[in-house]
Amino acid sequence: MTLPGDPAAGLPELDFSTIGPAVGSRFPDVELADQNGRMVNLREHQAGRKGLVVFHRSAHW
Amino acid sequence: MQLVELQRNVHGPQGDEVAVFAISYDPVEVLAEFAATHDISYPLLADVGSIAITELGLLNTGVESERAYWGRAMEDRHIGLPYPGTFLLDADGVVVEKLFERSHRLRPGGKLLLDHLDLDTTESPEIVAADGPGLSVAAWADTPEYFPNQLNRLTVRLGLAEGLHVYVPPNPPGFIDLEIEIEAPAGVFVHPHEMPTGHRFVVEGLPEEFTVAEGEFEVIIPFYILEDTGEVALPVKINYQACSDTTCHAPESVELVIDLKEVRA
Whether A2 shows a pLDDT value over 60: the answer reads: no
Residue-wise pLDDT tens digits, B6-21:
998 888 888 889 999 9
Q: Does B46 touch chain A (CB under 8 A)?
A: yes
Separation in Å, CA of B129 to nearest CA in chain A: 27
Are B182 and B225 in contact, with CB atoms under 8 Å apart?
A: no
Structure confidence at residue B209 (pLDDT): 87
Separation in Å, CA of A18 to nearest CA in chain B: 9
Of the candidates A26, A46, A57, the beta carbon closest to that of B24 is on A57
Q: Which residues does chain B have within 8 Å of residue A40's beta carbon, measured at their own beta carbons? A: 21, 43, 45
Encode chain B (265 residues) as per-residue pLDDT tens digits.
789 999 988 888 888 899 999 999 999 999 999 999 999 999 999 999 999 999 999 999 888 888 888 788 888 888 999 998 999 999 999 999 999 877 767 788 888 899 899 987 556 778 999 999 999 999 999 988 898 888 889 999 999 999 999 999 888 888 899 999 999 999 998 988 888 889 998 888 888 888 999 999 999 999 989 888 999 999 999 999 999 988 889 999 999 999 999 987 6
Are B137 and B251 in contact, with CB atoms under 8 Å apart?
A: no
Q: Does A13 touch chain B (CB under 8 A)?
A: yes
CA dist list (Å): B6 to B147, B185, B260:
10, 26, 18
Closest CA to B104 of B44, B38, B39, B150: B150
Give CA–CA dist B147/B10, Å, rounded. 13
Separation in Å, CA of A27 to nearest CA in chain B: 6
Are A53 and B87 in contact, with CB atoms under 8 Å apart?
A: yes
**Residue B132 Cα to chain centre, angstroms:** 26
What ipTM does this complex have?
A: 0.91
Whether A1 shows a pLDDT value over 80: the answer reads: no
Give CA–CA dist B37/B133, Å, rounded. 51
Q: Which positions ≥6 away from B87 have C-beta within 8 Å? A: A20, A21, A27, A51, A52, A53, B95, B97, B98
Tallying the residues shown for chain B, one arrives at 265
Structure confidence at residue B123 (pLDDT): 63
Residue-wise pLDDT tens digits, B222-257:
998 988 899 999 999 999 999 998 888 999 999 999
**Sequential DSSP letters for chain B:** -HHHHHIIIIIHHHTTTEEEEEEES--HHHHHHHHHHHT--S-EEE-GGGHHHHHTT-B-TTHHHHHHHTT----GGGTTPBPPEEEEE-TTSBEEEEEE-SSSS-EE-HHHHHHHTT---SSPP--EEEEETTEEEEEEES-SEEPTTEEEEEEEEEEEPTT-EEE-SS--TTS-B-EEEE-PPTTEEE---PPP--EEEE-TT-S-EEEEEESEEEEEEEEEE-TT--SEEEEEEEEE-EE-SS-BPPPEEEEEEEEEEE---
Give the max Cα distance, chain B.
76
Q: Does A39 touch chain B (CB under 8 A)?
A: no
Q: Does A37 touch chain B (CB under 8 A)?
A: yes
A14–B52: do the CB atoms touch at under 8 Å? Answer: no
Structure confidence at residue B244 (pLDDT): 92
Structure confidence at residue B202 (pLDDT): 85
